[in-house]
Amino acid sequence: MSNRLNVAPNDLSAFWMPFTANRQFKQSPRMLASAKDMHYTTTDGRKILDGTAGLWCVNAGHCRPKITEAITHQAGELDYAPAFQMGHPIVFELANRLVDVAPEGMDHVFFTNSGSESVETALKIALAYQRVKGEGSRTRLIGRERGYHGVNFGGISVGGIVTNRKMFGTLLTGVDHMPHTHLPGKNAFTKGEPEHGAELADELERIVTLHDASTIAAVIVEPVAGSTGVLIPPKGYLKKLRDICTKHGILLIFDEVITGFGRLGTPFAADYFDVIPDIITTAKGVSNGVIPMGAVFVKKEIHDAFMAGPEHMIEFFHGYTYSGNPIACAAALATLDTYKEEGLLTRGAELAPYWADALHSLKDAPNVIDIRNIGLVGAIELQPIAGQPTKRAFSAFVKAFEKGCLIRTTGDIIALSPPLIIEKGQIDELVDCVRTVLNEVE
Ligand SMILES: Cc1ncc(COP(=O)(O)O)c(C=O)c1O
User: Which H, E and C letters describe 240-288, residue by residue?
Assistant: HHHHHHHHHCCEEEEECCCCCCCCCCCCCHHHHHCCCCCEEEECHHHHC
Instruction: Kindly state whether residues 73 and 121 are assigned to the same domain.
Output: yes
Q: How many domains does the chain have?
A: 2
d(CA 189, CA 373) in angstroms, rounded, equals 9
Q: Strand, coil or helix: what is 385?
A: strand
Amino acid at 347: R
Per-residue pLDDT reduced to its tens digit, 339-392? 999 999 999 999 999 999 999 999 999 999 999 999 999 999 999 999 999 999
Asked which of 325, 342, 359 is the last residue of a domain, the reply is: 342
CB 324 within 8 A of CB 86: no
Query: Is residue 390 within 8 Å of residue 163, measured between CB atoms?
Result: no
CATH number of the domain bearing residue 376: 3.90.1150.10
Judge if 148 and 55 occupy the same domain.
no
Q: Ligand 1 atom 7: the closest Cα is on which residue?
A: 115
pLDDT single digits (tens) 74-89: 999 999 999 999 999 9
CB of 295 closer than 6 angstroms to any ligand 1 atom: no
Task: Identify whether residues 176 and 113 lie together within a single domain.
Answer: yes
Cβ atoms of 237 and 201 within 8 Å: the answer is yes
Pick from 90, 49, 97: nearest CA to 70: 90
On whether the CB atoms of residues 252 and 277 are closer than 8 A, the answer is yes
- Ligand 1 pocket check for 114: Cβ under 6 Å: yes
What is the rounded distance in angstroms from the CA atom of residue 317 to the CA atom of residue 303? 13
Q: In the predicted model, what is the mean pLDDT of residues 44-69? A: 97
Element holding 71 (H helix, E strand): helix 65-77
Rounded to two decimals, what is the model's pTM? 0.97
Q: What pLDDT band is residue 7 in, cutting at 50, 70 and 90?
A: very low
pLDDT value of position 272: 98
Angle at 379 (CA atoms; ends 373, 381), nearest 5 degrees: 130
| Distance separating alpha carbons of residues 110 and 118, to the nearest angstrom | 8
User: CA-to-CA distance for 409 and 48, rounded, in angstroms?
Assistant: 16
- Domain end point (choices 292, 309, 342): 342
**What's the CATH code of the domain at 172?**
3.40.640.10
For 231-285, write each residue's pLDDT tens digit: 999 999 999 999 999 999 999 999 999 999 999 999 999 999 999 999 999 999 9
* Co-location of 56 and 127 in the same domain: no
Residues with Cβ within 8 Å of 313's Cβ and at least 6 positions away in sequence, in order, are none
Question: For ligand 1, what atom is nearest to the CA of residue 115?
Answer: 7
State in Å: Cα 149 to ligand 1 middle: 6
Using a 10 angstrom Cβ sphere, with 0-12 exposed, 13-18 middle and 19 or more buried, the burial of residue 2 is: exposed
Q: Is 149 in the pocket of ligand 1 (CB under 6 A)?
A: yes
Instruction: Tell me, using a 6 A CB cutoff, whether residue 52 lines ligand 1.
Output: no
Closest ligand 1 atom to 119 CA: 4
**Is any atom of ligand 1 closer than 6 Å to the C-beta of 40?**
no
148 CA to centre of ligand 1 in angstroms: 7
Looking at the structure, tell me whether residues 336 and 199 fall in a common domain. yes
Residue 3 has pLDDT above 70, yes or no: no
Per residue in 88-136, pLDDT tens?
999 999 999 999 999 999 999 999 999 999 999 999 999 999 999 999 9
Together in a domain, 150 and 77: yes
- For residue 1, the CA-to-ligand 1 centroid distance in Å is 37
| C-alpha closest to that of 223 among 110, 147, 114, 288 | 147
Q: Domain containing 381: what range?
A: 3-63+343-440
| pLDDT at residue 8 is higher than 60 | no
Atom of ligand 1 at shortest range from CA of 284: 10
For the chain, the average pLDDT equals 96
Q: Which of 112, 161, 257 to mutate to test the pocket of ligand 1 (most atoms within 8 A of CB)?
A: 257
Tell me the per-residue pLDDT of 177-214, one tens digit each, with 9 for 90 and over: 999 999 999 999 999 999 999 999 999 999 999 999 99
Domain co-membership, 37 together with 13: yes
Q: What is the DSSP letter of 373?
A: E
Between strands 175-178 and 140-144, the pairing is parallel
Q: Are residues 39 and 82 in the same domain?
A: no
Residue percentage of the chain with pLDDT more than 70: 98
pLDDT of residue 2: 44
- DSSP letter at 232 equals P
Domain limit, last residue, from 288, 322, 342: 342
229 lines ligand 1 (CB under 6 A): no
The finding on whether 148 has its CB within 6 A of some atom of ligand 1 is yes
Sheet containing 106-112: give its strands across. 106-112, 294-299, 279-282, 251-255, 216-221, 140-144, 175-178
Q: Is 297 in the pocket of ligand 1 (CB under 6 A)?
A: no
AA identity, residue 254:
F
258 lines ligand 1 (CB under 6 A): yes
State whether 38 and 81 are in the same domain. no
* 125 and 51 together in one domain: no
Indicate if 376 and 434 belong to the same structural domain. Answer: yes
pLDDT tens for residues 128-170? Answer: 999 999 999 999 999 999 999 999 999 999 999 999 999 999 9
- Half-sphere exposure for 123 (CA within 13 Å, toward CB): 25
- Tell whether 239 and 94 lie within a shared domain: yes
> Which atom in ligand 1 lies closest to the alpha carbon of residue 150?
6
Distance 122 CA to ligand 1 centre (A): 13
What is residue 9's predicted lDDT score, i.e. its pLDDT? Answer: 57
